Amino acid sequence: MAAHPVDETLPALRTATSGLQHVAAMYAGVVAPPLIVGAAIGLSATDLTFLTGACLFTAGLATVLQTLGVRKIGARLPFVNGVTFAGVAPMTAIVAATKDTSDALPVIFGAVIVAGLLGFLCAPVFCKAVRFFPPVVTGSVITLIGISLLPVAFGWAQGPDPAAHDYGSAGNLGLAGGTLVIVLLLRRFTRGFVQQIAVLIGLVAGTLIAIPFGVTDFGPVADAHVVGFPTPFHFGAPRFQLAAILSMCVVMVVSMTESTADMLALGEIVERPADERTIAAGLRADTLGSALSPVFNGFMCSAFAQNIGLVAMTRVRSRYVVAAGGGFLVLMGLCPMAAALIAVVPRPVLGGAGVVLFGSVAASGIQTLVRAGPEKGDNVLIVAVSLAVGMIPITAPDFYHAFPDTARIVLDSGISTGCVTAVLLNLVFHHLGPRRDATHPTETGVGGTSPSASGVPQTRRGDASR
């Protein structure tokens, strides 16, 4: 009996090239979170390179665990894992609330470890409770993720140092705009593999254009070693603060919700529908990968929806291909010189690409909200209030200035507050009390439609995601 396409082993060359294509599709999304958090902390180029390499390494480990599986851990589908964008805003809020920035990463790592372990224990229950996170909730949260990250891209576009004389200069903004145009042209006029790596090509092209202007520094590459290992707890032993833990637990709930929806969509694409057992095993891999990631200085891991789109486009359904991609990520994480290449990219170039990356996340959230039917019943109120609450830290950064610092770790994260608001309002309007309309948003599962009808776009987060 022939093996299912998911379990099929392909020739070595095809496995390697297809695996590299998955790496190319997710690379920009993996390295963006450590760049954002590292910049917020003020890490040196060497430490930023180390953090980026660690995130590549842990993303590779999580992907291998998800695809190959160990006992009841791993969906055993062509399912890519990487650093989730949902954690970026809460992590930067933790950085802002930490008096000594050298303590920020240990606090973040401690919170991620606890959130990951709790998620691992809750995985069998969560796959049954996902009905409380319909598209009106997940769409609101995904939209907030993109909106929360856009100011980061705008800051990058102006330059690396707000105190510098050329910060926000026409040259920097022109470099950001040029990079954005290159990415858009590649997405519009190319197809296949080149289109998938448009952001990566845009980063390379923007960096090359910046060389004559003297804003490209190759020092990090020259100083980096060819081979290195992400030393466990390089930035210090994890520290456990309640407010930070609560904030990352909210992120874990968001991450698990998105991973569940992604598994449902992927199961339909590869013609192996994801049942409750598969979802629980996939969530165990997600959460265990997240809990182990901080040991090697990485962040929380989650599904990368754009790679699901790649599976649908190429029709290469073998999980061993994605496992090979995970292996390449591990090797890149063990090569500091490869990670240092990202440190070379000028901030304005990153800003131009970031507009596409982060804007795509917000647009994907809006697409999910459209499918949720915001005009139905009280959905418009859920979306309106949760977005408004989630945007408070963006539009009025000092809104919670009178609250204790520990409370502000949660309150200053629009993702966390917006998610909690959306979940509570969904419970109030759609689960508590008499049912007021015939169109209940959770009648047909995670996506508001059957999984086969939802397809990839249901949970797609653009080329950035986590």
CA 311 to chain centre: 18
- With tokens 């990631």, the residue in question is 293
Alpha carbons 234 and 413: distance in angstroms, whole number = 26
Q: Which residue has the higher pLDDT, 161 or 247?
A: 247
Model confidence band, residue 25 (pLDDT cutoffs 50, 70, 90): low
- With tokens 């705008």, the residue in question is 154
pLDDT in tens, 431-457: 776 665 544 444 433 333 333 333 333
Specify the pTM. 0.69
Alpha carbons 35 and 356: distance in angstroms, whole number = 16
Highest mean pLDDT: which range of 132-141, 344-353, 358-367, 407-416: 344-353
Alpha carbons 181 and 209: distance in angstroms, whole number = 13
Percent residues over pLDDT 70 in the chain: 87
Phi-psi region of 315 (alpha: psi -120 to 50; beta: other; left: phi over 0): left
Is the pLDDT at 461 greater than 50, yes or no? no
**What is the model's pLDDT at position 445?**
38
Identify whether the C-beta of residue 279 lies closer than 8 Å to the C-beta of residue 260.
yes
**CA proximity to 127, closest of 301, 285, 319:** 285
Alpha carbons 262 and 309: distance in angstroms, whole number = 10
Helix (H, G, I), strand (E, B) or coil at 237: coil
Model confidence band, residue 105 (pLDDT cutoffs 50, 70, 90): very high
Helix (H, G, I), strand (E, B) or coil at 411: helix
**What is the model's pLDDT at position 436?**
58
Percent of the chain that is helix, strand, coil (3-state, to 5) = 70, 0, 25
CA quadruple 39, 45, 47, 50: dihedral, nearest 10: 110
**What is the model's pLDDT at position 1?**
63
Q: Per DSSP, which regions of 56-167 are E strands?
A: 81-83
For residues 214-218, give the mean pLDDT.
78
Residue 455 vs residues 192, 193, 452: alpha-carbon distances, Å:
19, 21, 6
Q: Which residue has the higher pLDDT, 197 or 170?
A: 170
Identify whether the C-beta of residue 417 lies closer than 8 Å to the C-beta of residue 408.
no
For residues 185-211, give the mean pLDDT.
83
**What is the model's pLDDT at position 451?**
33
Q: What is the mean pLDDT of the chain?
A: 81
Highest mean pLDDT: which range of 88-92, 176-180, 351-355: 176-180
**What is the model's pLDDT at position 343?**
67
Alpha carbons 183 and 299: distance in angstroms, whole number = 27
Domain layout of the chain by residue ranges? 13-432
For residues 394-418, give the mean pLDDT.
80
Model confidence band, residue 290 (pLDDT cutoffs 50, 70, 90): very high
Single-letter code of the amino acid located at 431: H
Is the pLDDT at 466 greater than 60, yes or no? no
H-run or E-run covering 301: strand 301-303
Count of other CB atoms within 10 angstroms of residue 406: 14
Is 71 exposed, middle or buried, given 0-12, 13-18 or 19+ CB atoms closer than 10 A?
exposed
Q: What is the 3-state secondary structure (H, E, C) of 313-356?
A: HHCCCCHHHHHHHHHHHHHHHCCHHHHHHHHHCCHHHHHHHHHH
Model confidence band, residue 406 (pLDDT cutoffs 50, 70, 90): low
